[in-house]
A = this chain, B = another copy of it.
Amino acid sequence: MTKEDAIAAMRNFMAECVPFSKGEWDRVQPLHEVKILEKNELLLRQGEICTTLAFVVSGALCQFRTEDVDPYAYDFSFEADYAVDFASFAGQKPSTIGIRALRTSVLVCISKKNLDAAYKVSPAFQEFGRLMAERALVYDDDRVKSLLYDTPEERYLNLMERDPELLQEIPLYSIASYLGIRPESLSRVRANLNKKK
């Protein structure tokens, strides 16, 4: 995949969300930068300020904490997701998580400074930003509800239904930490579900 392909993929995704003119895109596009991460390479080191917002063209990334003995998966980013510690990015303060590529990943990145500039010169991009924030908000809202109300078994089943390919790709101990339980507990949840069938 060339850099041009990556930019085109991002443009297509944006076009699906909001209508924008060629002129607008031409003002916004140069503010972006294509970045390729190899497997296990870091996009963000925990504790550093998150300076870049990364649109995932292809590949997969994991947001995680290093304080724990095992790296503790907090979230995953796949194709057409954004990878970022938003609190760190928006407030330009130290991040509480790191971000690592789970496999070779192609990203279209924009710095905080350039993003602010893009919002200034393009109303369509402003709207796109709002829609992305709203999408992330609905996702987080759902997750809070799930953590408050659902049992580990329900959370696991919901994830399987919503994102079955995730389970193919991500080790179960990472899934467990995403669900907020220990790997051994997830193992037992799965054993139980097998027995039920």
Residues on A lying within 8 angstroms of B by beta carbon are: 65, 72, 74, 86-87, 90-91, 96, 119, 123, 126-127, 129-130, 133-134, 136-138, 140-145, 147-149, 177, 180
Contact = CB atoms under 8 A, between A and B. Distances in A.
A109 to B, nearest CB: 18
A130 B134 CA distance: 8
Contacts of A74: 144-145, 148
A119 to B, nearest CB: 7
Q: Closest 5 CB pairs between A and B?
A: A140-B140, A133-B133, A130-B130, A147-B147, A87-B138
Given A136-B137, A137-B137, 17 more contacts: A72-B149, A74-B144, A87-B138, A90-B134, A96-B145, A119-B130, A123-B123, A123-B126, A130-B130, A133-B133, A133-B134, A137-B140, A140-B140, A147-B147, A147-B148, A147-B180, A148-B177
Contacts of A65: 149
Contacts of A86: 134, 137-138, 141
